[in-house]
């Protein structure tokens, strides 16, 4: 007789007790299936929880990565902006050096030291300033170049400050000379003909133009470009109504084609004082002033003397 397992159970509604028999092999199989099912369900539940936790961690990690990428982009943008500001600062230092050179030229003060120190450095590469540069590409070279140029610009600025201090001291000593040195435009307007050789608008031949022509509306005031004394104030062939001012130290300025002369010969003049009205007298193609600067009788380029 095969071994069997008997199970008695009571329904609760009646007093009858029922008996249920099951073979041990079947019962063992069922028990194994039940246990296997429970174990499988437990494993699936555990694996689900583990995957859910990994998914959550990945979501947090992705948010962290995105945040860090945004921070890197922001920092890179700030670095590139700073690099651009360094370039602007370099240009400003260079412009100061050029302005100093122009002041020294006008005041006839020689440069006693070397250049500003920015010559030969070069600019920051344009590809380093590309806002779309890949994030994985390092900015090490740009940062290193920025440090180098910042140090160089700082040294150049310090030297420029010392040069200006020296220049100011020398300018104080040459105040009278500067007051009589042409350094402003005689009139605002458009330069229609520069200093040097040009094709004559009347003959079509090559000729030397000893000044600059500045055009503006007829009747515009013409001012003296430096302190001096009027040495000529009258009409002259070709150049029309002309004023000539002797500034001393071998410097003379001429103002031609004036519509009207407002000063007299021998009159003392201050820089910025109105001496005439822009016109079209003499041989002229339109309203303008012919302006000359002569040094010891030799015409020089007036553009070198414009500080404004």
Give the domain CATH number at 249. 2.70.70.10
In a domain, 24, yes or no: yes
Q: How far apart are CA 41 and CA 33, in angstroms?
A: 12
Half-sphere exposure of 213 (CA within 13 A, CB side): 18
- Which residues span the domain enclosing 273? 190-305
pLDDT of residue 194: 92
Whether residue 265 contacts residue 232, with contact meaning beta carbons closer than 8 Å, is answered with yes
DSSP state, 172?
Answer: H
Beta bridge partners of 106: none
Whether residue 151 contacts residue 86, with contact meaning beta carbons closer than 8 Å, is answered with no
**Of 91, 85, 87, 109, the residue nearest 164 (C-alpha):** 109
pLDDT of residue 185: 95
What is the number of structural domains in the chain? 3
**Which tokens is 184 given?**
């402003």
Helices 140-173 & 24-107, crossing angle to 10 degrees? 20
Q: How far apart are CA 18 and CA 9, in angstroms?
A: 6
Boundary-marking domain end, from 29, 47, 62: 62
Q: Are residues 86 and 142 in the same domain?
A: yes
| 298-to-34, 49, 251, 293 alpha-carbon distances in Å | 118, 96, 9, 8
Boundary-marking domain end, from 157, 179, 201: 179
217: Cβ contacts below 8 Å, ≥ 6 apart: 278, 287
State the pTM of this model.
0.48
Percent of the chain having pLDDT more than 90? 33
Q: Are residues 294 and 240 in the same domain?
A: yes
Low-confidence residues of the chain: pLDDT under 70 = 1-20, 24, 111-142, 145, 173, 308
pLDDT of residue 1: 47
Q: Are residues 103 and 145 in the same domain?
A: yes
């Amino acid at each position: 007789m095969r071994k069997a397992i008997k199970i008695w159970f009571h329904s609760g509604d009646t007093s009858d007790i029922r008996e249920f028999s099951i073979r041990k092999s079947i019962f063992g199989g069922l028990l194994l299936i039940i246990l296997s099912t429970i174990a499988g369900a437990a494993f699936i539940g555990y694996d689900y929880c583990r995957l859910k936790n990994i998914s959550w961690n990945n979501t947090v990690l992705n948010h962290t990565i995105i945040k860090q990428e945004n921070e890197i982009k922001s920092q890179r943008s700030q670095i590139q902006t700073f690099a651009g500001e360094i370039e602007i600062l370099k240009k400003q230092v260079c412009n100061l050096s050029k302005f100093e050179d122009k002041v020294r030229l006008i005041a006839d003060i020689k440069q006693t030291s070397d250049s500003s120190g920015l010559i030969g450095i070069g600019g920051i590469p344009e590809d380093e300033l590309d806002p779309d540069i890949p994030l994985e590409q390092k900015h090490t070279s740009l940062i290193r170049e920025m440090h180098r140029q910042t140090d160089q610009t700082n040294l150049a600025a310090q030297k420029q400050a010392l040069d200006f201090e020296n220049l100011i001291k020398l300018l104080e000593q040459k105040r009278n000379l500067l007051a009589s040195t042409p350094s402003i435009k005689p009139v605002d307007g458009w330069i229609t003909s520069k200093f040097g050789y040009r094709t004559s608008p009347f003959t079509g031949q090559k000729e030397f133009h000893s000044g600059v022509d500045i055009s503006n509306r007829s009747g515009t005031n013409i001012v003296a470009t430096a302190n001096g004394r009027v040495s000529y104030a009258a009409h002259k062939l070709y150049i029309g109504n002309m004023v000539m001012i002797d500034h001393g130290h071998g410097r003379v300025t001429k103002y031609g084609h004036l519509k009207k002369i407002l000063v007299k010969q021998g009159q003392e003049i201050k820089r910025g004082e109105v001496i005439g009205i822009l016109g079209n007298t003499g041989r002229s193609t339109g309203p303008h002033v012919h302006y000359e600067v002569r040094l010891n009788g030799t015409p020089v380029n007036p553009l070198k003397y414009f500080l404004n």
